Amino acid sequence: MADLHDLTALEQGALIRSGELSPVELTEHYLERAARLPQEYVDGAFVFRDPDAARRRAREVAAVGPVGDGASPLAGVPTAIKDLNLTRGVPTEFGSPAYAGFVPDVSDAVTLAIEEAGLVSLGKTSTPEFGSPCYTEPEGRPPAVTPWDTTRMAGGSSGGAAAAVAAGLVPVAQGSDGGGSIRIPAACCGLVGLKPTRGRVSGFPMYGDPVGLAVSGPIARTVADAAALLDVLAGRRAGDPSWAPDPGDTFLAATAREPGRLRIARFDAPVIAATEVHPEVRAAFEETTRLLSSLGHTVVDISVPIPPEAVPEFETCWAVLTGLSTAPLSAEQRAGLRPLTCWLGERGEAVSGPAFGAAIGALRRHAGEALVALAPYDAVLTPTLATLPLPVGAIRDDADPEADFEAQKRFTPWTSAWNVTGMPAISLPLHQSGDGLPIGMMLAARPAEEELLLSLAAQVEAAAPWRDRRPPLW
C-alpha cells in the first residue's frame, strides 16, 4: 500500500472529500516525515516551521469540511508559502538577514488565496536574498538542494518550495518567477513548474514589480496538481494594475482535454548569454521534439525571437528592482547584505528615472516584436536549463558579484525570455541524465493561453509519464 506522500495532491484531496482521510491525519503525516528526513535537507527547504500552528489550521479546515461544489479539490492538503510572500503573523524575512525577525501584519493575495481554498501551510519555504539569484543559498542557512543528489543545488529563487515538493515534504507548493524562479528549481528537482501569464495572479498589496516580470505560480509533481493550484492562486483584486482574462473553465479541467494538433516552434540557441549547452540537454531537446511529433504536432525550427539588444535592457530593469529592495534599508541593515545584492542594488540605484523608463519601454518593444514573431505558433519548445543541476556553490561568487551574475545567465539562458513577453511557460521533468539527474524541458504559449499549455503538458505527461520516478531521498 502506498504511503500518503506517494499520492498526488489531488488524490489526497479526494480522500479528504470522501471522508477516508482527515486534514489532521494528513498534516500529521507530513510533520512526522519532516522529522524523519535529514534535518539539514529539511532546513534547506524551510526557513520557518510551526507544527503546532499547522495542526491548529488542519483542525480548523477539518471542522469546516468541503464547502459546496466550487470548493477547491485541494482543500485540506498541506502546502507551504515562499519566504517572499507576506504572511500575517508569521516570520517573513525575504531570504535576508536585513529582515530578521520581521513579522507582517497583513497577508498578500497569494497567502490569502491559499488560506481561502482550505490548504494547510506547514511553514515558509527558503529563498535567496530578495529572490534574486537562480540558486537558493541564503546567508546563515543550509542551501536548498535537489533530492536527486544532495550535493547539487535545488535552483532558485523558489528552491525551498521545489526541494520540499521533490522530497515529499509537501505535495504541492507555490513559488514566484521574475526570471525563471519557478521553472529553474522545477528543472533541478524533477518537477512541474508553471509561470502563469502576466496578470494571472494578483500582486496585492505590494505591487512591487513595476516592470511586470514577476508572477506567482505552482510547483508540483504532476501537471494536474499544478493546474489545481493555479486555480487556487489565479484571480484579480480591485487594485491590480493589470490582469489576465478569466479562463473558459478551470485550469484543472483543461488537463483532461486533448489539445488538438498544434504548430509548435522550437529553438535551443541561448537567448541571454553565449554559453555551451550540455550534450544531454540537447539530446533531451531532440527527444522531446520527437515525442511532440509523434503526438501529431508540427514542430518547426525558428530563430531566437528576442534580440541580444534586449539583454542590457532586462539587466537594467532587474538591477532597479533589486535597488527598490535595498533602498529603504538602513546602513546597519545594508551591512549584512550579500555582495551580489549590494552590487545589483548599487547598479540599480545609479539608474536615473528617465533611463529606467526608457529601459522598460525598450523591453516592451522587444517583447512586442517577439510576440508578433511567435503569433503563428501555438507553443514554443526550449530546454529549461543549459546544463544539469550544478553543485552547491558553483555559481555563487561573493568575491566577484559580476561573475556570479554572468554565471547565472549562462545557467538559465532561456527562462527570462518569457518573463519579458509575459507568456505562460511550464517546465516539465521529461528526462534524466545518465547519472539520474533531472532534465527539464520548457513549453511556452501565447499570453493568457494557460489552458492550451496545460492541455498540451498533460498530453505529454500521459505519453511519457514521470510520476513514479522518485529521488533517492524519497
Cell reading at 172? 504541492
Q: Tell me whether residue 347 is in a domain.
A: yes
What is the tens place of the pLDDT at every residue in 446-459? 999 999 999 999 99
Please tell me the total count of domains within the chain: 1
For residue 1, the model assigns a pLDDT of 54
Cα–Cα distance measured from residue 208 to residue 131, given in angstroms and rounded to the nearest whole number = 12
As a whole number of Å, the end-to-end CA separation of the chain is 16
For the chain, the average pLDDT equals: 97
Q: Is the pLDDT of residue 69 over 90?
A: no
Catalytic residue among 82, 124, 195, 409: 82
> Could you confirm whether 157 is annotated as catalytic?
yes
Q: How many helices (H) and strands (E) does the chain have?
A: 17, 11
Q: Is 433 designated active site?
A: no
Please indicate, yes or no, if residue 55 is contained in any of the structural domains: yes
Residue 132, Cβ neighbours under 10 Å: how many?
26
Q: Is residue 312 part of a domain?
A: yes
Q: Is 342 exposed, middle or buried (CB count within 10 Å of its CB: 0-12, 13-18, 19+)? A: middle
Q: Classify burial at 375, counting beta carbons within 10 Å of its beta carbon; exposed 0-12, middle 13-18, buried 19 or more.
A: exposed
- Does 30 reside within a domain? yes
At residue 68 the predicted structure's pLDDT band, cuts being 50, 70 and 90, is low
pLDDT (tens digit per residue) in 14-58: 999 999 999 999 999 999 999 999 999 999 999 999 999 999 999
User: Does residue 2 sit within a domain?
Assistant: no
Q: What are phi and psi of 259, to 5 degrees?
A: -75, -10
3 state SS of 271: coil
Of 188, 86, 204, 85, give the one whose Cα is nearest residue 143. 188
- CA gap 430, 420 in Å, rounded: 25
> Among residues 132, 176, 181, 202, which one is catalytic?
181
What is residue 133's predicted lDDT score, i.e. its pLDDT? 98
Q: Give the domain extent around 133.
A: 12-463
pLDDT reported for residue 65:
77
Edge-to-edge strand ranges of the sheet holding 120-125: 46-49, 120-125, 78-82
pLDDT for 70 equals 76
Q: Which helix (H) or strand (E) holds 34?
A: helix 23-36
| 82 catalytic residue (yes or no) | yes
Q: Rounded to an integer, what distance in angstroms lies between the CA atom of residue 223 and that of residue 462?
A: 10
Inside any domain, residue 469? no
Active-site annotation holder among 72, 96, 157, 455: 157
The one-character DSSP state at 219 is: E
In CATH, what number is assigned to the domain containing residue 177? 3.90.1300.10
With a pLDDT cut of 70, the percent of the chain lying above it is 99
428: left (phi over 0), alpha (psi -120 to 50) or beta: beta
Q: Is residue 6 part of a domain?
A: no
